[in-house]
Structure 1
């Protein structure tokens, strides 16, 4: 790799890393002792400077930490998802203790995401099968969205503050639209069976001419919204394959598939700098940079346009097979977290793994194509 910085999280195994949305020189890591099985958690805040990566702050919790989100309204605040079902809000100007504690989940809180548009609320998801919406100034949740299955990852759309997505243990991607009236489904707008075969008279083809008939359902651990296409989401999990979907065509099957990882994909993130690039971290100890194939050899392809009555057309018959642009294999244990830096030339990535290491590296050499 052309350039790499490294720091350690001694005694703690990282689960997630996030760059600050305010500074390219600051990132935070949520971690757990004993691989998150039993013991404390520790939030590390790192600064990047002339001496490399250095710990600026750390905060201990009584239970494991599985995810984190920087506040979108206060550059010094970070929310952390904890194994006891709580979410802690830390302020870098306050030592030792959280400035807020939110605790309604009945099982492990496994993800947390700040609303990037309205910036006045955040969400959490839990193994208890719910998503909760919170205000950073209120200890009680604003709303609960029932999923019904272990919910590994939830996110706000970066394009619409009313859209919330999640993936769960039942192999589904769900979308909630807070603009819809509350009914028996609690704002549930779309359900996409990630591994199901597409519906329609003809199964879609892959690039090699074979048909795509779906795969055995498996737990979906991670997903992310494309930053440039407001209806495209990527998913991945236990079956090792990354898939992209157009949410306007929930029964049409994936837009593209990206096979290559040899164990479960724990985290993925679309690039904030290019519409076709994403990065993934896996239990196979690698971090990989991909293109979904949407811009190869020509102008960007648009997702299917809705036809009469707002109904998307049938699948066009072809599923793209994305390409791996590069592989970073410096981790020596499960790679569990990855994030893009929002600033600079567009290639800096931070990754973490259970090897107690934080790596910041320049992926630009992998993106030349």
Structure 2
């Protein structure tokens, strides 16, 4: 069964399920396709009556990504077009609680550390910088400056504490260690185009996925990063986001400017399933940690969908 929610004059950029509550998800959106105007953060619950907003928060610039806290079930962080990293609390009707602003251009990606002992957030920006934050502190802890172009995506390793990967318009993936911020541990010339998205396999600490403007997804083994393990082809336009399944090590999903969301087996050359329920660019995508086979996506057609692709149903 599919349930949907209309974000009404707000264009979806990012969607993420709560790591605590199976029915809850958040969607970061922007007015005027993110080119101008304000942003809205929707916190939604799946109910028998469909997707119902729990909170709707406004900000004076576009919101480009949302991530949930891993140590507080009410806390979220968003990346904003004015360079801010914003902290929100669902238990507070007004917000944000805090705006951390050091980036000089759009903050485009944020991710909360998935290692429970860490309370760190990383942010990637169009100023080509990545910053490490302890959200209880007013200033960033470290700045990573190895990319030569916009940083589109940052993702913590779910396996290795203090390790994260970033994707950039300079056509590279970089793997970083927060203890050695002076330089990237690994630099991969990943695509012959801007790299818009990256993610780690949840079952193999060495496997990383990348998606690029050239419409391809590549699978990388960090032990031998010179050549991709596989290339997944089928998207007709840029791959906006790739997400690895938390339930099966070989499964990943992607969404694209070609209006589709696709499910893949990382060992196969073509998609297992193509979902065509958006009429504009599909920007946001996530798996539900609590409900195997359930996915959410959002797009510039002002719609959020929560659904279970046929191929993932038991």
TM-score range with shorter-chain normalisation? over 0.9
Q: Are 1:325 and 1:367, in contact at CA under 8 Å, matched by a contact in 2?
A: no
Question: SS of the residue aligned with 1:30?
Answer: strand
1:360 aligns with 2:312: no
**Aligned partner (choices 225, 230, 253) of residue 279 of structure 1:** 253
Does 1:332 find its partner at 2:279?
A: yes
1:190 corresponds, among 186, 193, 206, to: 186
Retained in 1: the 8 A contact 2:13–2:284? Answer: yes
1:153-164 alignment runs, 5 A limit: 153-164=153-164
Contact kept in structure 2, 1:178 and 1:187, CA below 8 Å: no
- Runs of 4+ in structure 1 deviating by more than 4 angstroms, as ranges, are none
Greater C-alpha radius of gyration: 1
- The corresponding residue for 1:223 is 198
Q: Give a deviation string over 1:299-321, Cα, whole Å, max 9, x none.
A: xxxxxxxxxxxxxxxxxxxxxx5
Determine the structure 1 residue equivalent to 2:49.
51
- TM-score normalized by the length of structure 2: 0.97
Residue correspondences, number: 312
Tell me how far 1:82 sits from its aligned partner: 0.2
- Stretches of structure 1 that go unaligned for 5 or more consecutive residues are 196-216, 294-320
Tell whether the 8 Å contact from 2:5 to 2:51 is kept in structure 1 after alignment.
yes
The structure richer in strand per residue is 2
Equivalent positions of 1:101-250 (< 5 A) are 101-117=99-115, 118-146=117-145, 147-180=147-180, 186-195=182-191, 217-250=192-225
Question: Structure 1 residues 368 and 25 mapped into 2: Cα distance closer, same or farther (>3 Å)?
Answer: closer
SS of the aligned residue for 1:188 comes to coil
Q: Give the Cα–Cα distance (whole angstroms) in 2 for the partners of residues 130 and 279 of structure 1.
A: 27
Query: What is the CA distance between 1:368 and its match in structure 2?
Result: 7.0
Structure 2, unaligned stretches of length 5 or more? none
